[in-house]
């Protein structure tokens, strides 16, 4: 009985170790959730929620990109950040 309990506890510890992520990866997932979650808001309504959440996700993703040394991810999020800041400060542009 005691060996079974130890075996179950050991299996539980193995599963917990597999679920653990490092802090960089958690930061990446947080940025992804914020950017994707921002699309739940409609930017056409004029409410700034979309751009605020999208901006915060882009900033988190920029930090993540710096930590993992990924230039394309960093530059993409710089562009998103600039567009969101311009929109929030009242500069609206329509390329078409």
**8 pLDDT band (50/70/90 cuts)?**
low
In terms of DSSP H, where are the helices of 1-96? 2-19, 23-38, 49-68, 71-88
* 3 within domain boundaries: no
* 76 within domain boundaries: yes
pTM for the structure as a whole = 0.73
Range with the poorest average pLDDT among 1-10, 33-42, 59-68, 71-80: 1-10
By residue range, what is the domain housing residue 75?
22-88
Domains in the chain: how many in total?
1
Q: Summarize pLDDT for 51-60 with one digit per residue, the tens.
A: 999 999 999 9
- Does the pLDDT at position 62 exceed 80? yes
Distance of alpha carbon 71 from alpha carbon 82, whole angstroms: 16
**45 pLDDT band (50/70/90 cuts)?**
confident
* 84 within domain boundaries: yes
* 94 within domain boundaries: no
* 55 within domain boundaries: yes
* 9 within domain boundaries: no
Distance of alpha carbon 89 from alpha carbon 82, whole angstroms: 11
* 2 within domain boundaries: no
């Amino acid at each position: 009985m005691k060996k079974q309990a130890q075996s179950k506890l050991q299996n539980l510890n193995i599963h917990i170790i597999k679920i653990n992520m490092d802090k960089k990866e958690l930061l990446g997932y947080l940025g992804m959730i914020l950017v994707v979650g921002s699309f739940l808001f409609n930017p056409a309504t004029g409410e700034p929620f979309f751009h605020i959440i999208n901006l915060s996700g882009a900033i988190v993703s920029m930090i993540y990109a710096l930590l993992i040394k990924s230039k394309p991810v960093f530059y993409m999020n710089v562009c998103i950040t600039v567009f969101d800041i311009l929109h929030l400060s009242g500069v609206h542009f329509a390329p078409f």
